[in-house]
Structure 1
Amino acid sequence: MLSRQEALALANVTGPDLHALCESAAQVRDICYGQQLTYSRKVFIPLTNMCRDSCGYCTFVKTPESGQAWYLTPDEVMDIVQRGEQLGCKEALFSLGEKPELKYSYARDRLQTLGYSSTVDYLHDVAAQVIDQSYLLPHINAGTLDKDDVRRLKPVAASMGMMLENISRRLLRKGMAHHACPDKVPQARLKTIEYAGQLDVPFTTGILIGIGESWEERIESLLAINEMHLYYGHVQEVIVQNFRAKAGTAMADHTEPDLDDMRRTLAVARLLLHPSISLQAPPNLEQHYGAYVSAGINDWGGISPLTIDHINPERAWPQISSLQQACQGKGYQLRERLTVYPRYLQQSERYLDDSISPFISGMAASNGLAAQQCLPD
């Protein structure tokens, strides 16, 4: 395992040294997770695409003036869920903009039409409807939340998540990726992760690389996540996500991380983070699947046979069969998991609300993975 100083010294490692670093990370992965990689079969539910933040790389967020802003209705949500059920999906990923009602009267009006005054209140009830009317398990990614919000959402969420992205306040400056983004203040995001730990919520977080951060800031972000997990034990997975430039954004011409940068970051993440934290990389943002496996990942995250990645709509999900072939080519089996990882299912009385546990018990095999493994697409 790496120390902070050892990790910092690897900023520019390349060639044979990078290969050796990846081999070390892969060995740790093999010891902890064996010869299998996992994924979650999901539907993506973009409950609202309005947000009070204006990240320099985002095309998901729409303003009321664009004519493209929405809140999905409960019927629209359930239509996605029901079609996902028919395709064997088991996770309903709620992803949404942060607190748009604090910025836009249009968002407040739309919520009022739906019978609510806040996005979190609406999210709670729609997630509860998914539990009541389907067998999909909600995973809630609602951005920064206060402790009461996390407490309220836990009974309607099998797991929750929020990307830390980076702990650098420098990225809040004018001209940087997080300028004019009140919910990207690092301390606010760290507090959300901490609240989830205090309330024993299985949590997903991660870093976004290539948005103007330094290597040191990248390492400090991983260490901050690890420190939180060592104290609370609730971080079930960390995502290392590579920035992709999008036309029409402030960062449209910003340089993207290359494959070596991803391999380097993934390997260092595996050797910095506690082994109980799963390491994930999105497979639709880079198609060098074998290189990711060799760098130490053990999970591909959520993949949908139905819905697009609304955050990166130009990047189609890979077919499950393609990932299976890549895994087998490296000597691994691809297995379907639930949105909650096995080690948290084993402590369900601590990590899962009584309203969630009965549903999961019938969906999980004895090893904690999905009992009914869907055939590759």
Structure 2
Amino acid sequence: MGTEQPIGVGQGSDRPAAVGRSHQRVATYSRAHTLVPTYECFNRCTYCNFRAEPGQSPWLSLDSVAQLLPLLRRRGVCEILVLSGEVAPGSPRRTDWLHHIYRICELALGAGLLPHTNAGPLSQGEMAQLAQVNVSMGLMVEQVTPKLLDTVHRHAPSKRPELRLSQLIQAGELGIPFTTGLLLGLGETESDWVDALGAIAAIHDRYGHIQEVILQPHRPGQRQLQSGMALSEAALIRAVTLAKAALPAGVTIQIPPNLVSQSGLLACLAAGATDLGGISPVDEVNPDYDHPTPESLAAAIAPAGWQLRPRLPIYPQYDVWLPDDLRSLVQNWRSSS
């Protein structure tokens, strides 16, 4: 990130002159709140700032969720991002864990909110079950090169590339609007990025279900097991350029705005990114890097001709894929926005 600071209130004394309204382009974001059913995870990725050891993270109380959701609805939140650590396949607690996630999503729907779950690799039956209570789902491919299994993913069984890609295929077979993405700066090469983007594009060409691809640069955090270098912003901009060339036109490129400087964000937008993800009070994956507020983010991108607009966690072209009850709730949000 160099000497520049992440985007925040009060930055921008060197901003370019304002651009006329007629030339504005649109960048989107989701009014989100992240709920973590559990931080426990059987993977031990060396760069992770999220996980707790299995059995060392109490599961999120359903009573506390039920009390919180109406408050979030009144604050204008639309998306409930259910982001969970992974209970190992074959664990005697796996069924209870999945049911717990299902109940959180049910509560969110009951409060009029739109769940989007990312809970690691799932069986086809597990994914189908959660699809009943989610308007979209997601899983980062991260990287498809197997060489990371000898380094940062040495103790991460669910980070096998073929397993990650199989999740995209399952989602396509089940007709689930899906978000995926790459983690950048784990020791992979630019050629590896091209391979991963090509694999995502090929699966989308077959099923047409990939809404977004997140390009998430590694930023060191205080809790990770092994120190690492931050991905340079020049490399991130290059990744956006490659993604723009590799991905089908209908797939949106997303950049986490808390992990880039203002100038880096504007360069990423110029290179082809158009979405800034879910803006929640805390970035659970990168807790050392505060999210900007929508107001400060809008102010940061406006002088370069960009208008910030909220979106739902499901893109409009996928509404018809939803069961009737979920589609009705989504249409209520669309008609009220």
TM-score by length of 2: 0.88
Correspondence for 2:253: 279
Correspondence for 2:322: 352
SS at match of 1:55: coil
CA distance in 1, matches of 2:156, 2:66: 31
Q: Which stretches of structure 1, 4 residues or more, deviate above 6 A after TM superposition?
A: none
Correspondence for 1:207: 182
Deviates more, 1:287-296 or 1:218-227: 287-296
- Is 2:206 aligned against 1:236? no
Deviations 1:94-147 (A, max 9, x none): 0001124756x8xx4xx8xxxxx4311221122112212x11100011110111
Q: Which has the higher contact order (CA 8 A, sep 6+)?
A: 2
- CA-based RMSD: 1.7
Correspondence for 2:31: 41
Match among 124, 129, 136 for residue 147 of structure 1: 124
- Is 2:229 aligned against 1:255? yes
SS at match of 1:316: coil
CA distance in 1, matches of 2:59, 2:222: 24
Aligned-residue offset at 1:293: 1.5
- Is 2:33 aligned against 1:56? no
CA distance in 2, matches of 1:50, 1:248: 14
CA distance in 1, matches of 2:202, 2:54: 40
Change (3 A) 1:204 1:223: same
SS at match of 2:325: coil
Aligned-residue offset at 1:163: 0.4
Change (3 A) 1:59 1:206: same
CA distance in 1, matches of 2:333, 2:174: 24
| Counterparts of residues 361-376 of structure 1 (less than 5 Å) | 361-365=331-335, 371-372=336-337
Match among 267, 286, 302 for residue 241 of structure 2: 267
- Is 2:157 aligned against 1:182? yes
CA distance in 2, matches of 1:190, 1:360: 28
Correspondence for 1:224: 199
Aligned-residue offset at 1:239: 0.3
Q: 5+ residue gaps in structure 1? A: 1-33, 112-116, 366-370, 373-377
Report if the CA contact (8 A) 1:245-1:251 is conserved: no
Deviations 1:50-107 (A, max 9, x none): 0110111112111157x5x12101112223322321210000000001124756x8xx
| Counterparts of residues 5-24 of structure 1 (less than 5 Å) | none
Match among 87, 92, 99 for residue 99 of structure 1: 87
Correspondence for 1:120: 98
CA distance in 2, matches of 1:275, 1:354: 28
Amino acid at match of 1:127: C
CA distance in 1, matches of 2:233, 2:114: 33
Report if the CA contact (8 A) 1:281-1:301 is conserved: yes
CA distance in 2, matches of 1:274, 1:301: 19
CA distance in 1, matches of 2:197, 2:50: 25
Aligned-residue offset at 1:280: 0.3
SS at match of 1:188: helix
Report if the CA contact (8 A) 2:42-2:53 is conserved: no
CA distance in 2, matches of 1:102, 1:178: 20
Correspondence for 1:136: 113
Deviations 1:325-355 (A, max 9, x none): 233212121111000012212xx1xx21223
CA distance in 1, matches of 2:89, 2:194: 34
CA distance in 2, matches of 1:261, 1:83: 40
Match among 280, 283, 308 for residue 309 of structure 1: 283
Amino acid at match of 2:32: K
Amino acid at match of 2:112: Y
Amino acid at match of 1:155: Q
Aligned-residue offset at 1:182: 0.9
- Is 2:149 aligned against 1:158? no
Identity across aligned pairs (percent)?
A: 33
Correspondence for 2:267: 291
Deviations 1:136-162 (A, max 9, x none): 100011110111111111110000000
Deviates more, 1:118-127 or 1:208-217: 118-127
Change (3 A) 1:302 1:180: same
